Structure 1
Amino acid sequence: MPEQSPFDLAEGDPFGPHNLPYGVFSTAEAPEQRRIGVRYGAHVLDLSALPSALPAAIHPHAELLAAPNLNPLLAAGRTVWQQIRAAVHTAVTDPTHRDEVAPLLHPLAGITLHLPFEVADYVDFYASEHHATNVGRIFRPNDAALPPNWKHLPIGYHGRAGTVVVTGTPVVRPNGQRKAPADETPTFGPSTRLDIEAEVGFVVGAPSTLHEPVALGAFRDHVFGVCLVNDWSARDIQAWEYVPLGPFLGKSFATSVSAWITPLDALDVARTTPPARDFPLLPYLDDAAAEPGAIDIRIEVRINGEVVSRPPFSAMYWTAAQQLAHMTVNGASLRTGDLFASGTVSGPDPDQLGCLLELTQGKGPYLKDGDEVTLTAWAPGPEGARIGLGEVTGRVLPAT
């Protein structure tokens, strides 16, 4: 039986020509050489070699594609992103190019994937009304579940860019201070309430100018693509430290991201209307006349292979465009490689909750040493296709 061509994908493959996510890989033959690639089915197309194979279509961008990470490409801006995406689409779909392109396709099983971009800043939001309400009831049972500002602005915090890690990187259980309600004084040691947070991340490409806010309508000019995020959380450390300034050491020890960044343009069909807002929004956040800002991404959370939740990203109260507008409204500038995440994605149903804190109503059990957590997701694409987001997996190791 003849070997199947890498160009001939199985029906319904979520990494087909409508997707084409970007990553960084190395091969066993050249483990030190990191190359930019695009996933196509069960293969990765080596973009660093594509200008030689298709010089007319992509040669002007050869220097960007020869970089060891995505940052130069991210900085190039939307026009270049679209030109390269169109050339890659032609490379994998036009039969006349198969002889030149086939040698540039590497099986996924034979490569190593790396963090695809150098993270500049990391911001995490708190954009799900269902999640915020559930957490408020757990942490503040005698107060209103949502703080009075929650429906007027996207709440967020700055995280630690240096601890953003690529899928497959083990997560060491963090040590820290914690204080149970019955304890007189805090204790120190490994977190006993290690949790996950299923999130969607947005990768900034083109930077912005200091003191110039980024308006809702400029979202596509600055955001290159989307990835899955697991914002690991030590709930016992977080509960003791977060008043009055918010998350710190309970979050900063590790944030896992996918090895693949799905271009924003691949998710056009998945655009949808966000939930109705309860209060009028200030002009810089008012998206009533903008393109639909929500994205229909269906996430699946598995722990040790068992599905525990299916959170719907379309249920998020605040959109990514609103988050970006709020993040810059004070004049803060964007840098190439900035990553901002949605916050935990949760829906209204019991099987749509994006963290163990909610799934167990704060009672646990939480993650044990050796547990492996995997996030996967897909979004509707054109012609009935599915757009797959690269998975995020991490295994918990004991505290050191």
Structure 2
Amino acid sequence: MTSAAPDWGTTTLPWCSFSVDDGPRRVGVGVGRSVLDAGAALPWLADEVADGTLDALLAHGPDRRDQVRRAVADLVGTQTDDLPLVPADDVTLYLPWTVRDYVDFYASEHHAAAVGRLFRPGTDPLPAAWKHLPIGYHGRAGSVVVSGTDVRRPGGQRREPDGAVTFGPSTRLDLEAEVGFVVGGPATRGPLTLAEAEDRLFGVVLVNDWSARDLQAWEYVPLGPFLGKSFATSVSAWVVPMDALRHARTAPPPRDVPLLPYLDDTSAPAGALDLALEVRIGDEVVSRPPYRAMYWTPAQMLAHSCVNGAAVRPGDLFASGTVSGPARGEGGALIELTANGAEPIVLGDGSTRAFLHDGDEVTVSATAPGPAGRRVPLGEVRGRVVAGS
């Protein structure tokens, strides 16, 4: 269901769920251009991964998580023969864990401001609360699909320019390039401190939160996105451990509004991530959004999501919202790149895109700084738009 893995090397060690031919699902680790069968390589781990998912591993705290990662790293680093490795081109990849809850944030100031200027010209483009708290909406866990899954064009209500309310397939289907965070640790209830939230970050996935802009525009007042978002959210098939991103840690951008104590990260200045995203339609690059420009950090997003006492469970997924930068060509959605369709982008074959066409395949990939000056791949999330019924 997904394309082959990149060359992961021997230090990133991302997690996946895979099968070979028609065999059972297994938990794997990316090593070079192969997949290591984790249960076969580490027999003491076999029971925890017997169902072929990361669910049991996610339920443990950071100590167990680090123990397992060190064991895999030691095995890969000291043994080159007789490892249970399968060529990545020979495997089928699946969603690696059971998504419990899904929350999508709106953490890019550049994206929020660009959209605000489009919809509220002449006023402050940011909502009043935006720099005080990470704004988000509670998504639909059942809509999360693994990279490579086709995305059917959604249908629904929309209001036409003449004011008529009609029903039909979305005519303004958009992509949203995002970064997602998989939550680990025992189930608990909030609040969490920023340090506790940081410990809950198991790993990173790439996300495309597909959006039907015409459905969204008609439905979103006053409760926010609903059917314009809930039809599909694509995630990459590889979960890159947070520990593999140590060299990508960086400071968030300057903030000009004081934060309340539960969000104040001045004592943790390296809570942000320096990730370089790339968005392609077909084989053509249409955007390169920089994640380091995000205003809110992952720990802040998680801490805010449960500050009211909400539950935090292993397998929860939260995403950053559209990743965008300040420069032209750094928007993470077509609504920005095309000024809400008014300025379509021109592809190499001469065709234009205001929004996505049936048959378009969208791929979001990313890299991060790694050891010895090299780049660490984060894989990709890919999906092809197919006609709705």
TM over 0.5: yes
Q: Is the aligned partner of 1:372 residue 2:344?
A: no
Give 1:202's match in structure 2, choosing from 178, 181, 187: 181
CA distance in 1, matches of 2:328, 2:160: 27
CA distance in 1, matches of 2:381, 2:41: 28
CA distance in 2, matches of 1:17, 1:219: 28
TM-score of the aligned structures, taking structure 2 as reference length? 0.94
Q: Which residue is equivalent to 2:350?
A: none
Q: Is the aligned partner of 1:305 residue 2:283?
A: yes
Contact 2:188 2:313 survives alignment (8 Å): no
Give 2:70's match in structure 1, choosing from 71, 82, 86: 86
**5+ long unaligned stretches in structure 1:** 1-12, 53-58
Q: Which residue is equivalent to 1:232?
A: 210
Superposed, 1:89-108 pairs within 5 Å as: 89-94=73-78, 97-101=79-83, 104-108=84-88
Deviations 1:252-291 (A, max 9, x none): 0000000000001110110000001111100000000114
Superposed, 1:41-60 pairs within 5 Å as: 41-52=32-43, 59=44
Deviations 1:89-112 (A, max 9, x none): 122221xx23331xx110111110
Give 1:20's match in structure 2, choosing from 1, 5, 13: 13
Secondary structure of the residue aligned to 1:350 is coil
Secondary structure of the residue aligned to 1:268 is helix
Tell me the CA shift for residue 351 of structure 1. 1.2
Q: Is the aligned partner of 1:131 residue 2:145?
A: no
Secondary structure of the residue aligned to 2:305 is helix
Aligned residues: 373
Q: Is the aligned partner of 1:333 residue 2:282?
A: no
Tell me the CA shift for residue 132 of structure 1. 0.1
CA distance in 2, matches of 1:108, 1:40: 9
Summarize the Cα distance change of 1:318–1:278 in structure 2 as closer, same or farther, 3 Å threshold.
same
Tell me the CA shift for residue 221 of structure 1. 2.1
Tell me the CA shift for residue 65 of structure 1. 2.8
CA distance in 2, matches of 1:40, 1:51: 15
Contact 2:277 2:366 survives alignment (8 Å): yes
Deviations 1:136-160 (A, max 9, x none): 1112224321111110000000001
Secondary structure of the residue aligned to 2:76 is helix
Q: Is the aligned partner of 1:357 residue 2:354?
A: no
Tell me the CA shift for residue 68 of structure 1. 1.8
Give 1:77's match in structure 2, choosing from 61, 82, 88: 61
Q: Which amino acid aligns with 2:50?
A: A
Deviations 1:212-247 (A, max 9, x none): 311101123211000100000000000000111111
TM-score of the aligned structures, taking structure 1 as reference length? 0.91
Superposed, 1:171-190 pairs within 5 Å as: 171-183=151-163, 185-190=164-169
Secondary structure of the residue aligned to 1:49 is helix
Q: Is the aligned partner of 1:265 residue 2:243?
A: yes
Secondary structure of the residue aligned to 1:168 is coil
In angstroms, what is the RMSD of aligned CA positions?
1.2
Identical pairs, percent:
60
Q: Is the aligned partner of 1:158 residue 2:138?
A: yes
Deviations 1:173-222 (A, max 9, x none): 00000103322x31000000000000000000114422x31110112321
- Find runs of 4+ consecutive structure 1 residues off by over 6 angstroms: none
Contact 2:60 2:186 survives alignment (8 Å): no
Q: Which residue is equivalent to 2:386?
A: 397
Contact 1:71 1:205 survives alignment (8 Å): no
Contact 1:195 1:235 survives alignment (8 Å): yes
